[in-house]
Amino acid sequence: MASLSISHTMLEPPALAADLARGLLGRARDEARGFLVVHGAKGDVLSLGRYHVVPRGGDPIVQVTRRLGGGRPGPQGAGFVGVALALPQRNALLAPDQRELAPEQILNRYVRGLLGGLERLGVHGYYPGRDIVTVDGKLLANLALEIEPDGATLIEMCVATDRSFAEVTRFVDRADPGGTVGMDFIAPEQATSIAAVAGRAPTLEVFARALADGFAERLGVEAIVAGPPSIGPTDRSWIAAGYLAAHLDRRARIPAMLGVIEVRAARAGDVVADVRVCGDLIAPSDGIARLEAALRGAPIDRETLRRRVSEVFAASGDFILGLRDLTAIGDLVFDACSA
């Protein structure tokens, strides 16, 4: 039987979430088992995915953190809990007959532990697919994913406990007055919380114990409640790495299944000088790095750019969840560089 260590902690500052996730991935590799941490923070926190451009000049009352995984912008801080699940391989907690997981099945399998935990708190959540959990059609949680080159897998979740995801709209407005981060408006009636459904919000400890029971029941693992995790050295460059380089002055975007995907680019004569793929995408970061490298130096020709995208994904087996036609990335680069 696979084992899963579950613990909880408060993060101060919230930006430590990325350092916590790195440390958990290291432990998952070293000990060949799963680690899950429920984490909270104080105040208002805008949680950006790995591929979002980090805005500058926002109201400091809203703290900005940047996840290791992709996905949509989410709210964290008071009234929300984050969940980081680190595994040595994507199938580490699954029975032998469930281990051949396609990329789009990873969140589908592991969200079951969250659904089991919510049930113990009096909340009957539903996973409609992609990257969200709902209750009666209202948004309760979002999910994200990172797979590292050696197969180590990180699944990140944000769950509304006492406030709802409608807050993320206000957080973005305050932290990003320049409109750098594209997102869909979430109205109060479109979102809910554990407190709104069950009558009260769980503490971090109660939520962690509920998840332990949920993962044990739904995935058949031995869930062990442990003490607070240690957090590795702070990577102070992580947030800054999300800022937009000044030379990436060209931009094109399209709506996609998870939100918005965009390209920031620079051209030099008739070639793509540099490119950054941004937005609400869920994909292995190593694959996105290979994609961007393949597009640099390419001639600004639509078919050539589409072919380079196809070649990268065909050769590597990489993926982007939420984008039906991957060659649309080539179209975005062309449009950005041709504007």
Residues 1-35 pLDDT 10s: 799 999 999 999 999 999 999 999 999 999 999 99
pLDDT of residue 268: 97
> What does the pLDDT look like over 231-258, one tens digit per residue?
877 888 999 999 999 999 999 999 999 9
Q: What is the pLDDT of residue 96?
A: 72
Chain centroid, CA 315 distance in Å: 25
Question: What pLDDT sits at residue 288?
Answer: 96
CATH class for domain 3-239? alpha beta
- Tell me which residue of 274, 282, 258 sits closest to 333, measured CA to CA: 274
> Domain limits of the chain?
3-239, 245-338
Residue 98 is predicted with a pLDDT of 65
Segments of the chain with pLDDT less than 70: 97-99
Give the per-residue pLDDT at 282: 96
CATH of region 245-338, choose from 3.40.50.2000, 3.20.20.70, 3.40.190.10, 3.30.390.50? 3.30.390.50
| Selection from 2, 56, 70, 5 nearest residue 224 by Cα | 5
Report the alpha-carbon distance of residue 204 to residue 198 in Å, rounded: 16
Give the relative orientation of helices 328-338 and 285-295 as an angle to the nearest 10 degrees. 50
pLDDT score recorded for residue 90: 94
